[in-house]
C-alpha cells in the first residue's frame, strides 16, 4: 500500500505546486478545454503507471524503462496528423526507436522460446508507452488554453483513485519521508540510470542484445527530440 500512498502524496504536491504557480502568475483559470483534456490525460497517465508497475513486477527494469521511452512516438505521430512538418532527424529517430523495440522483442522471444510470459513485460511496457504518449497529447491540447488549469486537473484522477485505495485498504503500512524521497527520485531517472541501479542494487544484469536495444532506443529518442 505504500506505493499508492507515494502516488497520492506526489499528486497532491503537484496540485499544490500548479495552483501556487497559477495564482502567482495570475494565470489560473478553468475552461471546457482544461476539463476535456486535463481529466482524460490524467486518467491515461494513471493507467499507464499501473501497466508500468505490472511490467516492472515481471520484467527487468532496464528493459521496461527502455521500451517505455518509445512513448515519444505518439506525440510525433500526432504532430504529423495535424499537419506539422517533421525534420530528417526526428524521422530517423522514429525508425531507430522501432528497431530498438524489435531488438527487445527478439531477445524476449529467444529467452522464452516464443512463450508469452517472456514477452509480457515488453507488451506491458509498450502499453505504458502508448498511454503515456496519448496523455502527453491530451495535456498539450489543454495546455494551449491554460497550462496550470490543465495540469492541476490531470492530477485529480491520481488523488481520487489512490485516496480510495488507501482509505479502503484493510491493511496499511505507513510510508515515511525517506520512502517518498526514494521513489520520487527513481521515477525521475532516465532509463540508463535505472538500468545501472537495477544492476548494482537488484543484481539485474541485462543481456548484450538488451543493452544494445536500450542504447538504440535512447539514440532514437535523442534524434526525435533533436
How would you write the pLDDT of the chain (226 residues) with one tens digit per residue? 566 777 788 888 889 998 898 888 887 777 777 778 888 999 999 898 888 888 877 877 778 878 888 888 898 888 888 888 878 888 888 888 888 888 877 777 766 555 555 788 888 989 999 999 999 898 888 887 778 888 888 999 989 988 888 888 765 555 555 555 555 555 555 666 666 667 766 677 677 777 777 788 778 877 776 6
Tell me which residue of 79, 106, 42, 40 sits closest to 225, measured CA to CA. Answer: 79
Cα separation, 35 vs 149, whole angstroms: 8
Q: In terms of residues, how long is the chain?
A: 226
Which three three-digit cell numbers place residue 60? 527487468
Global pTM value? 0.72
Sign of the alpha-carbon torsion through 85, 154, 219, 65: negative
Amino acid at each position: 500500500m505504500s506505493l499508492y500512498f507515494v502516488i497520492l502524496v506526489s499528486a497532491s504536491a503537484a496540485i499544490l505546486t500548479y495552483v501556487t504557480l497559477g495564482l502567482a502568475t495570475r494565470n489560473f483559470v478553468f475552461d471546457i478545454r482544461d476539463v476535456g483534456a486535463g481529466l482524460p490525460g490524467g486518467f491515461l497517465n494513471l493507467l499507464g503507471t499501473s501497466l508500468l508497475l505490472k511490467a516492472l513486477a515481471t520484467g527487468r527494469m532496464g528493459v521496461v524503462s527502455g521500451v517505455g521511452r518509445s512513448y515519444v512516438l505518439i506525440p510525433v505521430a500526432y504532430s504529423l496528423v495535424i499537419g506539422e512538418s517533421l525534420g530528417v532527424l526526428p524521422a530517423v529517430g522514429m525508425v531507430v526507436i522501432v528497431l530498438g523495440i524489435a531488438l527487445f522483442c527478439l531477445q524476449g522471444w529467444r529467452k522464452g522460446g516464443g512463450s508469452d510470459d517472456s514477452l509480457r513485460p515488453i507488451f506491458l511496457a509498450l502499453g505504458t508507452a502508448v498511454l503515456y504518449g496519448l496523455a502527453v497529447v491530451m495535456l498539450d491540447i489543454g495546455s494551449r488554453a491554460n497550462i496550470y488549469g490543465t495540469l492541476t486537473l490531470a492530477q485529480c484522477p491520481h488523488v481520487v483513485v489512490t485516496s480510495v485505495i488507501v482509505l479502503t485498504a484493510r491493511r496499511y503500512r505507513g510510508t515515511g519521508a525517506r520512502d517518498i524521497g526514494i521513489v520520487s527520485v527513481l521515477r525521475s531517472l532516465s532509463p540508463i540510470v535505472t538500468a545501472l541501479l537495477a544492476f548494482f542494487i537488484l543484481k539485474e544484469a541485462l543481456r548484450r542484445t538488451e543493452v544494445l536495444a536500450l542504447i538504440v532506443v535512447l539514440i532514437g529518442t535523442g534524434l526525435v527530440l533533436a
